[in-house]
Amino acid sequence: MQMAASKSIIQPVISVDSVSKVYAGETVVSEVDFKVQPGECVVLVGHNGAGKTTLMKLMLGLTRPSSGTVKVFGGNPAVSGAVAQHKSLGYLPESVAFYDAMSGREVLAFYARLKGVSSNDCERLLESVGLGGAAGRRVGTYSKGMRQRLGLAQAMLGNPRLLFLDEPTTGLDPGLRHQFYELIDAMHKEGVTSLISSHALSEVEARANRFIIMKAGVMIAGGTLDELYLQAALPVRLQLSVAAGQASSIAERLGSGLTIDEIGDERLHLSCFNGDKMPLIRRISALGDLVSDLQIMPPRLDEVYSHFMNGDRP
Interface residues toward another protein, by CB under 8 A: 57, 60-64, 80, 83-87, 89, 91, 93, 95-99, 101-102, 106, 110-111, 113-116, 154, 164
Q: What 3-state DSSP class applies to 6? A: helix
Residue 51 vs 299, nearer CB to another protein: 51
Rounded CA-CA distance 34/184 in Å is 22
311 Rama sector, left if φ>0, alpha if ψ -120 to 50, beta otherwise: left
Residue 22 vs 287, nearer CB to another protein: 22
Residue 41 vs 139, nearer CB to another protein: 139
Contact 92, 151 (CB under 8 A): yes
We find the least distance from the C-beta atom of residue 63 to another protein, in angstroms, to be 4
We find the least distance from the C-beta atom of residue 202 to another protein, in angstroms, to be 29
124 Rama sector, left if φ>0, alpha if ψ -120 to 50, beta otherwise: alpha
We find the least distance from the C-beta atom of residue 216 to another protein, in angstroms, to be 21
We find the least distance from the C-beta atom of residue 80 to another protein, in angstroms, to be 5
Alpha carbon 35 to its chain's center? 14
Residue 20 vs 63, nearer CB to another protein: 63
H/E run at residue 121: helix 119-128
Residue 43 vs 96, nearer CB to another protein: 96
Q: What are phi and psi of 248, to 5 degrees?
A: -70, -35
Contact 194, 59 (CB under 8 A): no
We find the least distance from the C-beta atom of residue 113 to another protein, in angstroms, to be 5
